[in-house]
Amino acid sequence: MPNVSRRLLPLVPVVVLAVAILSFPSLAPNPYILSSGIVVLNYAVLATAWNFVGGFTGYISLGHGALAGLGGYATGLLVTKAGMPAFVALIAAAVLVAALAVPLGMAALRVRGASFVIVSIALVLILLLVFQSWASLTGGSRGLVVPRPFPSLLRPEHHRVFFFLYGGLLALALLTWWIVDRSRFGLGLKALREDEDKASALGTPTFTYKLIVFVLSATFTALGGGLYALWFGDLDPVFQFSVLTGSYLVLMALLGGVRSLYGPLVGALVVGTALEYFKGSFGNTPLHLVATGVLLAVVVLVMPDGVLPALAAGWSRLRRTSQTSIREVTAAELRDQRTSAASAASGSARSADSAGFAGSAGSAASGAGATSPGTDAGVSERASAHERSGGGGGKPDSPGRRDQEARR
């Protein structure tokens, strides 16, 4: 039974999330709350998309607002200028942004750390200028009006449909993140997050991996931005290409936990709801920015890994039943081990089959996996291998005994 419950445990958040998404439109007391729910879900999609790059590679992008803006404008322009059906335009826009992300990523991912952050900010600012200046195509500062895909629907129904569409997109983003997370590709990405040079020295094609995950992230970000364009129906370069959007996404992912599947979603629920509350209660004042800054400072100081990893760490501390010592063997212990190994060897030499045993242990030592820690065979193998090497004079420490020492 415990095994079954452990296997079913990962399904709990899936069920909770599904129930929450399916029931929220019915529970929302008015269309405004429902539209706030869409904004929060939009943040959740964008933060999860951001987490493909930020979570797996550790590259902090403040420029994801630009990718969302590109997705939004591409969708809007394909609908208004090319006359494409809304959802075909959405997919086409995501493909276009993914294609554009290849050269963007090739340029941006050549630099690391603070340099990458600056490049990502530059991307937002350049695109803001382009989309503001190119008024004949984008509408410039007047904005771009995108026709609603379901003109016959009343506003509450329109919100309801888009809430479910965002829910589906979020589920797809989470599923993709989960697949990457458990894959060899994901392990390679996590390795490069920890130490890029080391990962490369072990054979991971780090640049290719970073580029693939950047394009994946850009695609989901563009889908989020495109869906926003179809839902909201009005795009303004100042809001679409804003460094603030990227900063919010970073804050959400950090708050929830960049190394966890649901971290950005949890962060989006907290920060997105708080932003909507501040804007609703205090208008468009800088107050929400102050609150955001304070929250970011608290998160970094108190829970640098985010809420979910902090909870998981606390839970595993409670459940931990055995302790593993990392203590190394001291020189004195090594001497004792050598003495006891020597007496064990002389004892076995007195036994009738001593010569045969030594021979088999010696040959076994040349094959990986032959050593069995914690067994006399392990001790003998190590000892005979060491003797063949002629190093050290006496017998070496045995991994088996060392393990036993460490476990005490």
Are residues 97 and 216 in contact, defined by beta-carbon separation less than 8 angstroms? no
Contacting other proteins (CB under 8 A), which of 187, 274, 295, 296? Answer: 187
Residue appearing with tokens 């950047």: 214
* Cα separations in angstroms, 28 against 91, 154, 169, 180, 361: 29, 16, 20, 34, 72
Question: Mask 152-181, x = binds other proteins (CB under 8 A)?
Answer: ---------------------------xx-
In the structure encoding, which two tokens stand for residue 320, read together?
Answer: 């931990």
In the structure encoding, which two tokens stand for residue 138, read together?
Answer: 């984008």
- SS3 (DSSP) at 145: strand
Residues in 322-361 that interact with other proteins by CB under 8 A: 324, 326-331, 333-334
**Does 190 participate in binding other proteins (rule CB under 8 A)?**
yes
Alpha-carbon distance 231 to 41, whole Å?
12
Contacting other proteins (CB under 8 A), which of 85, 205, 280, 314? Answer: 205
Where on the phi/psi map is residue 338: left (φ > 0), alpha (ψ -120 to 50), or beta?
Answer: alpha
* Count, residues near other proteins per rule CB under 8 A: 57
Q: Which is nearer to other proteins, 3 or 136 (CB)?
A: 3
Contacting other proteins (CB under 8 A), which of 157, 195, 234, 353? Answer: 195
Are residues 307 and 265 in contact, defined by beta-carbon separation less than 8 angstroms? no
Terminal CA-CA length for the chain: 31
- SS3 (DSSP) at 146: coil
**Does 198 participate in binding other proteins (rule CB under 8 A)?**
yes
Q: Which is nearer to other proteins, 225 or 400 (CB)?
A: 400
Contacting other proteins (CB under 8 A), which of 191, 274, 311, 312? Answer: 191
Cα torsion for 167, 172, 177, 182, to the nearest 10°?
120
Contacting other proteins (CB under 8 A), which of 3, 5, 9, 184? Answer: 184
Q: Which stretch binds other proteins (CB under 8 A): 8-16, 37-45, 270-278, 396-404?
A: 396-404
Q: Which residue intervals of 109-147 are DSSP H helices?
A: 113-133, 135-138
Q: Which is nearer to other proteins, 87 or 207 (CB)?
A: 207
Alpha-carbon distance 28 to 22, whole Å?
11
Q: Least Å distance between CB 227 and other proteins?
A: 26
Q: Which stretch binds other proteins (CB under 8 A): 135-143, 232-240, 275-283, 400-408?
A: 400-408
Alpha-carbon distance 182 to 72, whole Å?
31
Q: Which stretch binds other proteins (CB under 8 A): 21-29, 198-206, 218-226, 353-361?
A: 198-206
Q: Which is nearer to other proteins, 168 or 392 (CB)?
A: 392
In the structure encoding, which two tokens stand for residue 386, read together?
Answer: 């060491």
Residues forming contacts to other proteins in the complex (CB under 8 A) are 179-180, 182-188, 190-191, 194-195, 197-207, 212, 324, 326-331, 333-334, 365-366, 368-369, 371-373, 382, 385-386, 388-392, 396-399, 402-403, 406-407
